Structure 1
Amino acid sequence: MSATRSLHARIALLLVLLLGSVSAGFSVAGWYYARLTAGGAFDALLSAGAAQISENTYQQGGVVTVDLPVSVLAGLSVEDSAAYKVVDWRGVVVAGAADLDAAVTPEALGNGMLSNGPVLRDATWRGQPVRAAVTARRLSGGWVTVTLAQTLNARTALARDIAARAVVAVLVLDGLALVITLVAVKRVLAPLSAVQRVLRERDPRDLSPLAVEAPPEIGALVGAINDFMARLEGRIALMQRLIGDAAHQLRTPLAALASQVDLLTVERDAARREAQMARVAARTEQLGHLVGQLFNHAMVTHRAGVAMLEPVDLVLLTRRVMLDVPPAARMLEMSLDAPEEPVMIQGDAISLREAIGNVVGNALRHGARSRLEVRVLRDAAGCRVEVLDDGPGIPPAQWARVREPFHGRDDGQPGAGLGLAIADEVVRAHGGELQFSAHSHEGFAVILRFPQAG
């Protein structure tokens, strides 16, 4: 049998997968928001720097002069390269790096792009990606455009730092959640350990219900165990009773057979020897019949509540039983009265055939004198199989006793008293009832009544 993971291992694996997925999602989201945060911070610096440069740009005569704030470039150049450019209304670069281009024209800036502050653009400067802030100022001669750009090293480093802190926090929280959950699960499953301990310490012969306090979820498991042990106890008791009954019933005929065989070995008279041989043969036949019924009883008892029920045609089943009647019994007047269409019930075909066969066999051995009639009927109440014979029948005072296994016979005829007991057990297992009826004009009838198929 292949090993399976424990509940703790399964829960731990599930939590690792779940928390891992959540952590991955939070990590991606953390990196995204870290980039937004870092980008927003540096964009604000760029916008402020571009605004300061713009405020320090003047026109003296026809010349544009820039009084560059040194602190602006110094603050942006700690970890990055920074550059600026000032272009007058003629398109002449009056200060800064001429090769810095953010692709924003003064006319566009003057048409409302500056309504929310400097315009921010991604650009490239000397082969490096940069972030640029572009603003403009109107002087007497026209619009002057100011561009301030910075490479992305510092903002990328800040984004990584923010994201790393967020990921570490998520992982710490996930680890705490995993530990706390596993500890909680262990405490929740503690009643299962109590059930396991009680079962291990219990005597194998003790099938009494478990007395373990448990929450409702585990209490259902304890209840299922108790139900199973109750059924097992019933099965064991039934098997023990069958074994005891078989031992008791076989002991007497075996002892009698052994005695007759012993007498046969010392008998010298031919006539008496032949008579003893006949008694041995008769006793052997009775013993074989008894053993067969014991096995049938055990089989029927075992199948009750175990065999899967399926649609069974009582007409076809009864017809097969009648075909199995021994040739010696066919000297009687026998008949089968059944409808042409099937009479279906939900049942176990093997047990049902055994029950009908036992009732028919019981009627042939102990009831019928010259006539045996079997009927299969169906009405609003259900279905039934009636076995009628012209014998004396069973007195009503004994109708309850003949349903019991190994009941004694009052007429002195041999028999184990199992035929009707087997039939009664099978019919009750199918939700029906074994009945008896004495008709003065028809004879005695044993009726196997079954509920209508659903």
Structure 2
Amino acid sequence: MRKTEPSLFSRLVIRVTMVLAAGAAILVTAAWIYAKAAADEAYDRLLQGAATQILESLAVVDGDIEVNLPPSAFELLGLASRDKVFYRVVKPEGETVTGYEDLGREADVRAPRAEPTFRTTKYRGQQVRLVVASRAVADPRVGGWIHVIIAQTTEARQSLTAELTTRALLLVVLMSVLALGGTVLAVRYSLRPLDMLGDTLRRRDSQDLTPLDIAVPRELSPFVDSINHFMRRLDERLRVLQRFIADSAHQIRTPLTALSAQVSLIDEGSLSEDDRRHLSRVKSRTNELARFTTQLLNHAMVIHRFDSVQLSPVDLTDIARKAFHAAVPITIDPDTVVSFEAADEDLLVMGDGLSLREAIVNIIDNSLRHGTLQMLEVRVLRRGDFARLEVMDDGPGIAPGDWAKVTGRFVSSKSGEGSSGLGFAIAAEVATALGGTLSFIEKTPTNNFAVILELPLIKDESR
């Protein structure tokens, strides 16, 4: 049983899908990193702006720091409705002017800062983004740096990051689907030469062993070269087989013919009764051997021709008539009634004339040798969409229980009567090769045994 591997198409599509999936995962990860950075930068600027406005609103009055929180400082932060905002204003000595005293305790509020600093931390059990901005106070009564600390929860940042990532994900998925669809079409188109090569081989006649002449991609050239090399070797083998069959037929038939001729030259008049009886047996065995050898060679010829000869339309009536003349000997008993009835029309079937003629000859010969007593009738007629050959005789026929096995090679219903068991085998193989059947009828309306060969008519003719 041939082991089946996944198709090249499925392999390529699966591998491209894996590459696209990996690329999509990388792109989505990069999009998430970019979205997070973009969200942090946007909200960090809002935090920095709020801290700057608060610093600018600070004033020193009578040696003390006054804070007038501008509403605009928190309006922009308030756009993130789900986020909480915490703030704290710290004097140079670290005392809290206003706001949450525990905010930013880990920050060094005594060190001067020219630029604001940001960091993500935890405050009151929530993750917050914190900014520390500073401003120098020139008043000698309050010398030093004033610090503003503002913290905001990160829900809006995370929401913005998720939204940007989702949009990027949709875009990546869409592009991946389009890329996969384009890849499927490209792979299918790229593999078309394989389908064309397969179609060329399937449509080629079984007897055509000439090299393939088809344009294929460079990658398929070694494959086509191997096929052509194999067909050249097969053609050489078939030619050797043809020569062997021809030489065998000549080399075997020639000595058998010579032996038969030598035996026929023996003067039976000078022999005793026992010697004449022995000579008769020798002649019988010689004729049997010649006939058996001929059938073996014809059987090999039939098998070979169906493997090497192209079928063509032939007229079954014409083939049957030629087979009838070849099978019925001139020396047949004059008391035997032999007849041939042709069809009223041409019955064209697809076949090989020589093989079909040999099959009919074997059917008629088998009837003459083992069935016919005083009558042999051969008829060709049409039955529906089939051409039908009927060979009838008035002999005992073949028992219905033996019908299934007499079409096998070297199987005969007349054991010990000079039967080789190849006649019906040849006829059955020819019928099967041509899409027909070989069957038997135990008793016809005229109480005769019949062998039936049916072959399908060419469709145009059947209409």
Contact 1:23–1:171 at 8 Å: present in 2 too? yes
Answer yes or no: is the 8 Å Cα contact 1:208–1:230 preserved in 2: yes
1:125 paired with 2:119, answer no
Partner residue, 2:98? 95
Alpha-carbon distance between aligned partners in 2 of 1:154 and 1:3, rounded to the nearest angstrom = 56
Q: How far apart in 2 are the matches of 1:54 and 1:253?
A: 129
What CA distance in whole angstroms lies between the structure 2 residues aligned with 1:66 and 1:260? Answer: 144
Distance 2:72 2:262 in 1: 130
Q: Match of 1:138?
A: 136
What secondary structure, in the 3-state scheme, does the structure 2 residue paired with 1:173 have?
Answer: helix
- Distance change (3 Å), C-alpha of 1:233 and 1:56: same
Given the alignment of the two structures, is residue 171 of structure 1 paired with residue 179 of structure 2, yes or no?
no
Alpha-carbon separation, structure 1, partners of 2:95 and 2:250: 125
C-alpha separation in 2, matches of 1:262 and 1:147: 134
TM-score by length of 1: 0.54
Give the deviation of 1:215 after TM superposition: 3.1
CA distance in 2, matches of 1:44, 1:254: 114
Distance 1:260 1:36, change over 3 A: farther
In structure 1, list runs of 5 or more residues that go unmatched: 277-454
Deviation, structure 1 residue 234: 1.4
* Matches of 1:254 and 1:148, distance apart in 2: 121
CA–CA separation in structure 2 for the residues paired with 1:66 and 1:228: 98
1:26–1:170 CA contact under 8 A, matched in 2:
yes
Distance in 2 (alpha carbons) for counterparts of 1:102 and 1:30: 35
- Contact 1:34–1:162 (Cα < 8 Å) also in 2: yes
Residue in structure 2 matched with residue 45 of structure 1 by the alignment: 46
Structure 2 residue runs of 5 or longer lacking an equivalent are 280-463
Alignment-mate amino acid for residue 128 of structure 1 = Q
Show the counterpart of 1:405: none
> Counterpart of 1:287?
none
- Residue 209 of structure 1 aligns with an amino acid whose one-letter code is P
Q: 2:93 touches 2:110 (CA, 8 Å); kept in 1? A: no
**Contact (CA 8 Å) 1:118, 1:133: kept in 2 or not?**
yes
Distance 2:77 2:171 in 1: 30
User: Over aligned residues, Cα RMSD in angstroms?
Assistant: 3.3
CA distance in 2 between partners of 1:45 and 1:209 (Å)? 79
Taking structure 1 as reference, are residues 106 and 242 closer, same or farther at Cα in structure 2, changes over 3 Å only?
same
**Offset from partner CA, 1:259-312 (integer Å, 9 cap, x none):** 789999x8978xx99xx9xxxxxxxxxxxxxxxxxxxxxxxxxxxxxxxxxxxx
Deviates more, 1:212-221 or 1:87-96: 212-221
Q: Which residue of 2 aligns with 1:209?
A: 211
Would the aligned equivalents of 2:31 and 2:165 in 1 still touch at CA under 8 Å? yes
The aligned counterpart of 1:354 is none
Query: Partner residue of 2:359?
Result: none
The secondary structure found in structure 2 opposite 1:99 is: coil
Residue 76 of structure 1, CA deviation: 1.4
CA–CA separation in structure 1 for the residues paired with 2:76 and 2:262: 125
Quote the residue 1:74 is aligned against. Answer: 75
Q: Which range is displaced more, 234-243 or 131-140?
A: 234-243
Partner of 2:194: 192
1:158 corresponds, among 157, 160, 168, to 160
Correspondences of 1:238-253 after superposition (within 5 Å): 238-253=240-255
Q: Distance in 1 between matches of 2:87 and 2:230?
A: 86
Shift in Å, 1:223: 2.9
Question: Which amino acid in structure 2 is aligned with residue 74 of structure 1?
Answer: E
Q: Distance in 1 between matches of 2:231 and 2:75?
A: 85
C-alpha distance in structure 1 between counterparts of 2:159 and 2:96, whole Å:
32
Alpha-carbon offset, residue 86 of structure 1: 0.4
User: Per-residue displacement from partner, 1:76-98 (whole Å, max 9, x unpaired)?
Assistant: 13331111100112322111122
Secondary structure of 2:118's aligned partner: strand
